[in-house]
Structure 1
Amino acid sequence: MSLASLNRTPYNEAGFCSREGLSMAHNDLLLDLLILFGFATLIAVIVRRVRQSAIVAYLLTGIVVGPSGFSLIANRGAIETMAEIGVALLLFTIGMEFSLDRIVAMRRLVLGAGGRQVVLTTAAVLGLALLANHDWRQGIYWGFLVAASSTAIVLKLLLEREEVETIHGRIIVGVLLFQDLCVVPMMAVLPALTAPPGEIILAVVFALAKVIGAGALILFAARFFFPLLWSRIVEVRTSEILIIAVIFFSLGTAWASAALGLSVALGAFIAGIALSETSYAYQIHAEVLPFRDSFNSLFFISIGMLLDLKFVQHHWAAVLGIAALIFVLKLLTGFSSILSMGFTARKSLMAGLSLAQVGEFSFILLHQGERLNLVPAGEYQIFLAAAIITMMLTPVIVQLSPEISRRMPEIQRLRQIFPGPGELELETQAAPLRDHVIICGYGLNGRMLARTLRRLGIEYLVLELDPAIVRRATAEGESIFFGDSTKAEILEKAGVSRARALVYAISDPFALPRAVATAHTMNPDLVTIVRTARLRHASALEKAGASQVIASELSAAKEVISRVIELYGVPDDKQDVTRGAERVADSLLDWE
């Protein structure tokens, strides 16, 4: 007998809730939560061993404990209510993580690559839906679902692989940021798609106007009222009061949003944005994070509980076909969007592969669409199963993306359509150079080195993969060229066989060893200086042929040790900071 078969109603025959019945209902809910979190913990531990995301673990938990599995949960109404709170807290914290300064700084990637990816994906899905004789409103809805990628999964993988600061890492983050921003108008537009055909445009305009009006009202209050309120709350210096105030503010704003005819999640998102620019944002985010993660897990578990495994079993071909279609479609739209920004085909492919899955916000839109009857039950099941498959494949795809992109040759026909490296100009400018320095990467380190060499009269040239940086630096008179410094043909045109030094001032732990080995093969006498973030990458770079490897964390450790020793007045002849730091660092590498 399953737990769901037990009678758990707290009401007596007269229709009133008795104390014993209420106590039994509370105990039943507690049992449901124990089952959910117990299975979630077990499954999360298992899936993490195969490098899967916690989101996948929660979805699988819902499948296991739901009607398609062991049917262990009876009080689904209460679970779904708590899941709604989790969504509100999720959107609240996502809103808090948005920074206007960050968006402005990354506006070219956010609006350029991100905007093109979302528009292209939505348009492609709409076109396919029309070809399949679906209503255009459903086509737009499906386009919204497919356009979003998983920020939680992809960003975590980038952090684990230390690729956030690489060229393709910055591109991916920019696209994900725009996708998250699009959740607000998407959620606002969905109810308007259910309006009568002749009123849809007016309904969409009205829906967006309500979002803008509510957002303006909340942001006005955040600018002139909330700072004073939060300063009084923070002055109490009690974390319990701060937590209560944060929950009250986020859920209260969500309730006010629902009262205005908007969604609860949308109001919570706007509330998060309202607090993102305050001086208390970091502390508030840290306090609410545990609550968000706990309640948020219930949302993904409740989504997994909706999956009908029997339906999926009978329609497995459709599920696999839709999953493959989503992957190919998002790969193509992501690749094309980034390539059209002027990045190389290899970097565009790496980013496109990393974005080729369905995101967690798609489940929120899917849940909302089900309530609005925008998606039939069968299509709901197929998309849900296909989405879970794409998310589960993401770690493997991201792991293989550097090797896949490396094997992809630059396509000459694509270079005629999209901007490509100015190899002819590079070869022409580098031809007269002898005994020069090749700087790979024009970040802070690259810029400082270039400025120093220019002041000393030492000849150099710079290779950079970001076309916007190349255009800006070229306008300032810098000797900089668009080119992939990990490719032998680009290094050859930059005169690596005649150069004295090659400096890699880029952050890409997977591409650098191969690039150093290529350069060393082309010119064994070349002095190759490589900057890396982590000391544990130094050994591979030295084996590849690097003359000198400078690890940022070791340099920082030396500086920290030096500053602390200075505080205690240790004589210079007893400090020996450099050799001591290196010796300690070597002994601690086994800890990582």
Structure 2
Amino acid sequence: MLVDTLNAIVLAFAFALILAFLFLKLRLPVLTAFLCAGLLVGPSGFNLIKDPHAVESIAEIGIILLMFIIGIEFSVKKLLAYRREVFIAGLLQVVLTLIFSCLLYLALIASNIKVAIFFGLFISFSSTAVVLKILTDRGELNTPHGRYIFGILIFQDLTVVLAMLLLPMLADEPLTLSEVLFKIFKAFGVLAILLLLALKVIPILLELVIKTRSRELFLISIFLTSLGVAVFSHKLGLSLSLGAFIAGLAIAESEYAYQTIAEVKPLKDLFMALFFITIGMLLSIPAISQNPLQALITLLFIFVLKTIVVFLVVYFLNKNLRTAFLSSFYLFQIGEFSFVLLLQGEKLNLLSPDVSQILIASSALTLFLTPLVIGVADKMTYRFLKTFRAKHKDLVRKEDEKPHHKHIHRAIILGFGICGRNVARALKLLDVPYAVIELNPNTVKRYRKKGEHIFFGDATNPEILIRYGIKSAELLIITITDPVAVRKVVKLAKELNPSIFIITRTKFVAEIDELLKLGADEVIPEEYEASIALFEKTLRYFKIPLNVINELVSDLKSEHYEALRTEVITKLKKFHPEELLKKLTFENYLVKPGHPLVGMTLRALNLRAKTGATAIAIKRGDELIVNPQPETVLKEGDLLVLIGSEPQINRALYYLESPYEGMY
């Protein structure tokens, strides 16, 4: 059995490696390569792995570790800040998807209400593993659409318990209302207790492990925490992924969060690849070929319904078309938990094997299509919005129709997070009039009450930029983190005002050249700025002259950080700190009792002229005489601090032993 499992894993990774290499060369999503690898090695391909379940259980570790890391990166405070996205957007998405799918099923397919409800539950869930993997890889988790996507996915995980409670009721195994309510309260009570215990206990245990200074123990404790809490959560009726997320939240509040991510991330990526391979194995080509029309209709039904519902929910809460469209394109697929529901549905005789195969095939296709659809989502959204806005200018929000164009803004700040607020503070000190464009309506309301010149709007919309003075502004500062939106804003701003000076931030080094080509004048990469700060502090520690450090930093930042983006930095070699340090030698010399130096002044000693070395300080008892004057008289017990090149120091030490001989 073990040999069969290992054989399956080896074959899966072998195909995944080959296909991933080819897909990277073709600039296609690597995630799709893993899905295709699963298709090829599975029952519908070469049938090299006859039993996909041999690797499925191992692959689920990838989901657990993914949710564990996401929990660490979010923290409880951040999750509470997302309460609108989780509890309102998530609730609306699940409820509306369930209602609409039930009604459409009853109207178009069959009149069986129980199967209709099951079908609604089945398509309500999206893939946490696939979507969050893509979001994190693209750096979009903290973007406006990323917030809503994450919130909806987390709420879906929270509703797993309710879905499992409903299944027996659909299969003629009714529960009384009191039993249902008891189980619901029990589930959420368990969730609260689990979260509380995790927050209190896990940091204490990790602190005990850290004190041993054993990396092995730390790694074991991390796996015990993530997998243990996930399993415990599952035993209590919650999902594995939700338990792992809670464990991550607990560690996020401790000082060991980033070290934990560093240890877990490589293994998480490995297991996630295996998970996506097992998803690829689920796709049944025979089931599709036998019922191609049914599979296609089911696929279209799922895609259209889910995209419409997510769009309506996000637009209702956010009032931004771009955020709503992108969110809908990310969440159209069927999730991992839906397959668990499907298996339970078969056991309870809610579905026939034929219908089950059609649902599995269609659902697997949605997972295959997800990386491809997300890859073109930005272009599709941009083209649609461009056409839509041209035809429906009257649908712009009333708040944005106020005559703000009367205000003259020399600067426009895009985004009002920490960076945006700091920029605004600097502009206030300079008395420079500015406007802020922000996509979060809550942020706009909060800071407008404080007197900020801040307005709601999507800066990827040219009308918004025009309305807030882009054509007359001298400076545009972009502080948002959405890489796609940044590119579009830079391009639009330069088209609308070719003379405007654009400063933008980016998380990704690869974005620098593209942003410069699009029209950005200054691109500030977060990683490079951090490295330059470390570089500067290091040189200061080694006492490199401040003017030399300033010149070095200036050289590093010139030409849009070109020096840092090339492997050879020839321009900076003459200032290299190691070269400077090699030429400098520090030495001490003690003036002993009865030594000829006792009673001699530094002027009379004439050390620099005779040897080239310099006495930069004298330690006399507890006193330190820095930069001693020529009239300073040397006393017994003085400790001379000398500086110079190695030959100069050697000459100085020889001269100090017999100063009168060296004078003549």
TM-score bucket of the superposed structures, by smaller chain: 0.7 to 0.9
The 10-residue stretch of structure 1 (489-498 or 280-289) with the greater mean CA deviation from structure 2: 280-289
Deviations, residues 233-271 of structure 1 (Å, cap 9, x unaligned): 4444444445555666666666666766x3774795587
Of 421, 440, 457, which aligns to 1:447?
421
Equivalent positions of 1:301-316 (< 5 A) are 304-305=280-281, 307-316=283-292
Cross-structure match for 2:623: none
Q: 1:557 to 1:263 in 2, by over 3 A?
A: closer
Partner AA of 1:483 in structure 2: G
2:446 pairs with 1:472: yes
User: Is 1:175 the counterpart of 2:149 in the alignment?
Assistant: no
Alpha-carbon separation, structure 2, partners of 1:249 and 1:440: 40
Structure 1 residues 411 and 520 mapped into 2: Cα distance closer, same or farther (>3 Å)? closer
**Amino acid aligned to 2:293:** A
Match of 2:553 among 578, 581, 586: 578
The partner residue of 1:510 within 461, 484, 507 is 484
* Correspondence for 2:373: 397
Moved more, 243-252 or 103-112: 243-252
Q: What runs of 5+ residues in structure 2 fail to find an aligned partner? A: 568-664
Q: Determine the structure 2 residue equivalent to 1:437.
A: 411
Alpha-carbon offset, residue 384 of structure 1:
1.9
Aligned counterparts of 2:329 and 2:242: Cα–Cα separation in 1:
33
Deviation at 1:479, TM superposition (A): 1.7
Indicate how the Cα distance of structure 1 residues 364 and 83 shifts in structure 2: closer, same or farther if over 3 A, else same.
Answer: farther
TM alignment of 1:14-163, pairs within 5 A: 26-46=2-22, 60-73=36-49, 79=55, 82=58, 99-131=75-107, 132-133=109-110, 135-163=112-140
Residue 529 of structure 1 pairs with residue 503 of structure 2: yes
Separation (CA, whole Å) in 2 of partners of 1:258 and 1:396: 33
More deviation in 144-153 or 533-542? 533-542
Q: How far off is 1:116 after superposition? A: 2.4
1:45-70 CA-partner distances (Å, limit 9, x unpaired): 45555666666555545544444444
Residue in structure 1 matching 2:540, options 559, 562, 566: 566
Q: CA deviation at 1:392?
A: 2.2
The answer on whether the counterparts of 1:192 and 1:204 sit within 8 Å (CA) in structure 2 is: no
Equivalent residues of 1:255, 1:267 under 8 A apart: no
Q: Which residue of 1 aligns with 2:333?
A: 357
SS in 1 for 2:484: coil
User: What residue in structure 2 maps to residue 10 of structure 1?
Assistant: none
Deviation at 1:339, TM superposition (A): 0.9
* Deviation of the 1:490 alpha carbon: 2.4
* Superposed displacement of residue 292, structure 1: 6.1
The residue number in structure 1 matching 2:643 is none
CA RMSD of aligned residues (A): 4.0
Q: What is the rounded CA distance, in whole Å, between the counterparts of 2:93 and 2:470 in structure 1? A: 37
The code of the aligned residue for 1:475 comes to K
Shift of 1:228: 5.1
Q: CA deviation at 1:87?
A: 6.7
> Structure with the greater relative contact order (CA < 8 A, sep ≥ 6): 1 or 2?
1
The TM-score normalised by the length of structure 1 is 0.79
Please state if 1:494 is matched with 2:473: no
Asked if residue 272 in structure 1 is aligned to residue 252 in structure 2, the reply is: no
Q: 1:380 to 1:96 in 2, by over 3 A?
A: farther
Deviations 1:543-586 (CA, angstroms, capped at 9, x unpaired): 44444444444433332221111111101232212333136941
In 1: Cα distance, 2:504 partner to 2:226 partner: 47
User: Contact 1:275 / 1:281 at 8 angstroms: preserved in 2?
Assistant: no
Alpha-carbon deviations, 1:429-485, whole Å to 9, x = none? 431x34632222222222223233334433222222222221222222222222233
Shift of 1:312: 1.8
- Give the greater-gyration-radius structure (CA): 2
**Inter-CA distance 294–424: structure 2 relative to 1 (3 Å threshold):** closer
Structure 2 counterpart SS, 1:357: coil
Alignment of 1:299-448 (within 5 A): 304-305=280-281, 307-407=283-383, 408=385, 409-410=387-388, 420=397, 422-425=399-402, 427=403, 429-431=404-406, 433-434=407-408, 436-448=410-422
Task: Tell me the alpha carbon deviations over residues 291-341 of structure 1, each in whole angstroms, 9 at most, x when there is no partner.
Answer: 666666666655655554322211112112212222211211111111111
Name the amino acid aligned to 1:471.
K
Q: Is residue 62–residue 270 contact of structure 2 (8 Å, CA) maintained in 1?
A: yes
Q: Are the equivalent residues in 2 in contact too, given 1:335–1:351 (CA < 8 A)?
A: yes
CA gap 1:111/1:240 in 2 versus in 1, 3 angstroms:
same
CA distance in 2: counterparts of 1:477 and 1:456, whole angstroms: 17
- Aligned 8 A contact 2:409 2:435 in 1: no
* Whole-angstrom distance in 2 between the partners of 1:369 and 1:453: 61
Q: Output aligned runs, 1:228-243, within 5 Å.
A: 229-242=205-218
2: distance between equivalents of 1:258 and 1:354? 27
Q: Residues 531-553 of structure 1, C-alpha deviation per residue, up to 9 Å, x if partnerless? A: 44445544444444444444444
Assess if the C-alpha contact under 8 Å between 1:29 and 1:75 holds in 2: no
Bigger Cα displacement from structure 2, 505-514 vs 293-302: 293-302
Query: Are the counterparts in 2 of residues 421 and 482 from structure 1 also a CA contact under 8 Å?
Result: no
Q: TM-score, normalised by structure 2?
A: 0.72
Deviation (angstroms), 1:387: 2.0
Q: Is contact 2:202–2:251 with CA below 8 Å preserved after alignment?
A: no
Contact 1:440-1:462 at 8 Å conserved across structures: yes
Contact 1:440 1:464 in 2 (8 A): yes
- Report the CA distance shift for 1:201/1:134 in structure 2 as closer, same or farther (over 3 A): farther
User: What SS does structure 2 have at the residue aligned with 1:340?
Assistant: helix
Gap regions ≥5 residues in structure 1:
1-24
Q: CA 1:143/1:236 → structure 2, altered by over 3 Å: closer, same or farther?
A: farther
Say if 2:93 and 2:313, in contact at 8 Å, map to a contact too.
yes
- Answer whether contact 1:184 1:266 (CA < 8 A) is retained: no
Q: How many residues align?
A: 561
Give identity over the alignment, percent.
34
Letter of the aligned partner of 1:340 in structure 2?
F
SS for the counterpart of 1:510 is: helix
Partner of 1:459: 433
